[in-house]
């Protein structure tokens, strides 16, 4: 059974240059019922105005990844990394013992729309690291492509946690089945469009907790882009 969280139930932040929607408690938004799920702590749906962004700030002991939907995001960090992240790219910054970074809209004319997602790591004080991989649209079209995995298998980015993340694109008759197996939690986030998961309709911004997931079917998409998180069977981060 899907425990669905509708898009309009998410937290909201309007900073002028930044329009953000928070799936889980973040910043000034706090909901005692929404403190994450398993090791998934943050899903922020951010829209940043042209030439604006997040100035240099620090993180530690967190696996942070960005998934750009539209536009381009410029990244700089204290590891000496400088990059631009565009649709199809997945960026992973493992903060470890501590890292400083900034994220700015790369364009002076167009907004950027991206998801920033935090996963709690299974080790503390590790060496910071940066990864970025591009996944072609064809790799996600009508299927769920592994984009993040514990050892970076199958060309995915490596994460310091027992977690896997899949990305898929579904439209019309395209369909896929993902066999997770028993004793796992899953979180589904629809980044845009809409589709059905095991017969339940999810629209853009909707999410769903699924416990003891087993097998999941994704179909009847309408220009849908979806992220699927295969997680440990814990209710909250840190458990």
Is 38 part of a structural domain of the chain? yes
- Rg of the chain (C-alpha set): 17
- Averaged over 112-137, what is the pLDDT? 97
Range of the domain at 56: 2-231
Residue 215 is assigned to a structural domain of this protein: yes
> Is the pLDDT at 84 greater than 80, yes or no?
yes
Residue 239 lies in a domain: no
Q: Look at the chain and report how many structural domains it folds into.
A: 1
For the chain, what is the mean pLDDT? 96
Distance of CA 79 to the CA centre of its chain: 22
Looking at residue 224, which CATH number applies to its domain? 2.60.120.10
Do the domain assignments include residue 237? Answer: no
Would you say residue 9 lies in a domain? yes
Q: Is residue 236 part of a domain?
A: no
pLDDT at residue 239, rounded to an integer: 52
Does any domain span residue 238? no
The residue-averaged pLDDT of 64-75 equals: 96
Q: Look at residue 204 and tell me if it is in a domain.
A: yes
pLDDT of residue 182: 87
């Amino acid at each position: 059974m899907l425990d669905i969280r509708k898009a309009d139930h998410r937290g909201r932040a309007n900073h002028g240059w930044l329009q953000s929607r928070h799936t889980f408690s973040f910043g000034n938004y706090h909901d005692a019922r929404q403190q994450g799920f398993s090791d998934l702590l943050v899903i922020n749906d951010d829209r940043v105005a042209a030439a604006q962004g997040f100035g240099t700030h620090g993180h530690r002991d967190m696996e942070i990844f960005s998934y750009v939907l539209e536009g381009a995001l410029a990244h700089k960090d204290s590891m000496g990394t400088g990059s631009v992240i565009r649709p199809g790219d997945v960026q992973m910054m493992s903060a470890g013992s501590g890292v400083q970074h900034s994220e700015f809209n790369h364009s002076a004319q167009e907004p950027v729309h991206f998801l920033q997602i935090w996963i709690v790591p299974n080790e503390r004080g590790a060496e910071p690291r940066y990864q970025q991989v591009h996944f072609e649209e064809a790799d996600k079209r009508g299927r769920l492509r592994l984009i993040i995995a514990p050892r970076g298998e199958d060309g995915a980015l490596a994460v310091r946690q027992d977690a896997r993340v899949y990305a898929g694109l579904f439209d019309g008759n395209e369909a896929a089945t993902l066999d997770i197996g028993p004793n796992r939690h899953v979180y589904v986030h629809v980044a845009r469009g809409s589709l059905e998961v095991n017969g339940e309709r999810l629209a853009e911004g909707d999410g769903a907790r699924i416990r003891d997931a087993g097998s999941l079917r994704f179909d009847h998409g309408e220009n849908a882009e979806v992220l699927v998180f295969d997680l440990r069977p814990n209710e909250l981060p840190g458990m």
